[in-house]
């Protein structure tokens, strides 16, 4: 058994782990990175990158069908599903060198391609190596949650870890789960020529703003996706090419099945009890992302908070400040945005309108700008959607955007909330015309309009100035 002494041992080579490893080693720390699976983690190999590549291909197919409103004759695209997957693979392969073992070894990180588990409060075993480190960072991510549905283990099914390897276009794809992954994959496959049925036990996109959710679902349904809400999948039967999902209210038969009901944090194999680390479904951490063992931190999905790649990267930065400089850096969530990459996109930062009203009551003001007020949206034939901002004492506390490029537009509000900016900072910004970004400024203007234009005192002052100031 080979023994290794190091300053920092990072367990997991996804977004959070790679951020910590790269930052620590480049600032002079000795770093060992342990990864038994693929470098780059879920985001590169099974999540963000392949899904957005598939969505991009689906948008191209949809564009051919929907040119009539621009005076361009629509055409039914000829879709080579295997070639679409080649595009997906090309995207992964192009990005992979940035996350590769070779790159990190070039930075000076010791990379062990083994699964690791704790053997004491200060030691981790990975294959034939025992690593003793001053600090450990758990960055093991999560895996698709497979629910205990009767019969599921007897039929072929896909998760986000396997669906991108499918080379034959599904004739009829049934998706169990109506979260962001389920709905993104539903619309993408419908645009690529599959029949699609989504089965959701509660509400589809249930955590999102109700008004925004309805706009997205109206478009997805209009493109042919069947959405079944409020029905749990109770039993599954069939064989390859003919799989039936039974709910309490009906039966749905399709050619392929995708299970997208959530994520399960990867902590079971770590032997956390031997390290003195408290845990439940995820690792228990404080605001500094430290565990009950002060030598050990957890980031990203492993920390049991928001399950997004950018959150893991953000956590990495927080931990770096603590590990290397001893600074009391704390992880917050109020400024973290997220996006569902449907068409139209749905983006959120901070609380929704309902959540803000529940927290602040009458103290919250809600302002809104609609896409059909945007010259750019009108010119591009994309007038559906809105920007909605929740404001308390002149500062934005949350924002919802549904519409074209919502994921890009939400960044301004994430910055405003993170920096504690007032609405005036947005309203006085000078933005290029015509851009969708102007919708953010229009929403900020809607906050000030009644204060200026419906205010009797303002009108009196203006009137006095016009009469007495030469």
Q: How large is the C-alpha radius of gyration of the chain?
A: 25
Question: Other C-beta atoms within 10 Å of 399: how many?
Answer: 29
Please indicate if the annotation marks 183 as binding a ligand.
yes
Please indicate if the annotation marks 445 as binding a ligand.
no
Question: Other C-beta atoms within 10 Å of 103: how many?
Answer: 16
Please indicate if the annotation marks 193 as binding a ligand.
no
Please indicate if the annotation marks 418 as binding a ligand.
no
Please indicate if the annotation marks 179 as binding a ligand.
yes
Please indicate if the annotation marks 36 as binding a ligand.
no
Distance CA 349, CA 360 (A): 16
Residues 6 or more apart from 285 whose CB is under 8 A from it? 291, 297, 298, 303, 304
Please indicate if the annotation marks 177 as binding a ligand.
yes
Residue 100 tokens, joined: 């590769």
Length of the chain measured in residues: 470
Please indicate if the annotation marks 116 as binding a ligand.
yes
Question: Other C-beta atoms within 10 Å of 126: how many?
Answer: 20
Please indicate if the annotation marks 154 as binding a ligand.
no
User: Taken in order 289, 354, 382, 219, is the CA torsion positive or negative?
Assistant: positive
Please indicate if the annotation marks 180 as binding a ligand.
yes
Asked if residue 247 lies in contact with residue 236, where contact means CB atoms within 8 angstroms, the answer is no
Please indicate if the annotation marks 301 as binding a ligand.
yes
Please indicate if the annotation marks 5 as binding a ligand.
no
Residues at the binding site for FAD are 52, 116, 140-142, 301
Residues at the binding site for NAD(+) are 177-184, 200, 262
Residues at the binding site are 52, 116, 140-142, 177-184, 200, 262, 301
């Amino acid at each position: 058994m080979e023994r290794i002494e190091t300053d920092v041992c990072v367990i997991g080579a996804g977004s959070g782990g790679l951020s910590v490893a790269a930052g620590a080693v480049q600032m002079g720390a000795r770093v060992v990175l342990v990864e038994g699976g693929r470098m780059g983690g879920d985001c590169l190999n099974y999540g963000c990158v392949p899904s957005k590549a598939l969505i991009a291909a689906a948008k191209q197919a949809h564009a051919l069908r929907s040119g009539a409103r621009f005076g361009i004759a629509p055409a039914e695209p000829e879709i080579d599903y295997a070639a679409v997957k080649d595009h997906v693979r090309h995207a992964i392969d192009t990005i992979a060198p940035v996350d590769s073992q070779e790159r990190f070894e070039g930075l000076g990180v010791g990379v062990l391609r083994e699964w690791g588990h704790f053997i004491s409060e200060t030691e981790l075993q990975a294959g034939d190596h025992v690593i003793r480190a001053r600090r450990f960072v758990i960055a093991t991510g999560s895996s698709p949650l497979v629910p205990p549905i009767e019969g599921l283990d007897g039929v072929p099914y896909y998760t986000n870890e396997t669906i991108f390897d499918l080379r034959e276009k599904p004739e009829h794809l049934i998706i169990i789960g109506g979260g962001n992954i389920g709905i993104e994959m539903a619309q993408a496959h419908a645009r690529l020529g599959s029949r699609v049925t989504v089965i959701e036990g509660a509400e589809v996109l249930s955590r999102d703003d109700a008004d925004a959710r309805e706009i997205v679902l109206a478009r997805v349904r209009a493109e042919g996706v069947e959405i079944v809400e409020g029905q749990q999948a109770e039993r599954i039967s069939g064989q390859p090419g003919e799989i039936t999902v039974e709910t309490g209210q009906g039966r749905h038969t399709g050619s392929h099945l995708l299970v997208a009901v959530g994520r399960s944090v990867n902590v079971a194999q770590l032997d956390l009890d031997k390290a003195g680390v408290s845990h439940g479904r995820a690792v228990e951490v404080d605001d500094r992302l430290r565990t009950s063992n002060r030598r050990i931190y957890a980031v990203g999905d492993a920390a049991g908070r928001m399950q997004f790649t950018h959150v893991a990267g953000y956590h990495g930065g927080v931990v770096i400040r603590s590990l290397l400089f001893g600074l009391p850096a704390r992880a917050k969530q109020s400024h973290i945005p997220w996006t569902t990459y449907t068409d139209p996109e749905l983006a959120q930062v901070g609380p929704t309108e309902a959540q803000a009203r529940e927290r602040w009551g009458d103290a919250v003001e809600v302002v809104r700008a609609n896409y059909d007020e945007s010259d750019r949206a009108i010119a591009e034939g994309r007038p559906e959607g809105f920007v909605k901002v929740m404001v308390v004492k002149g500062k934005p506390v949350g924002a919802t955007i549904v519409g074209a490029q919502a994921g890009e537009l939400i960044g301004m509000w994430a910055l405003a909330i993170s920096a504690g900016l007032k609405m005036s900072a947005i309203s006085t910004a000078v933005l290029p015309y015509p851009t969708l970004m102007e919708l953010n400024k229009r929403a900020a203007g809607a906050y000030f309009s009644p204060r200026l234009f419906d205010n009797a005192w303002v009108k009196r002052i203006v009137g006095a100035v016009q009469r007495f100031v030469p």
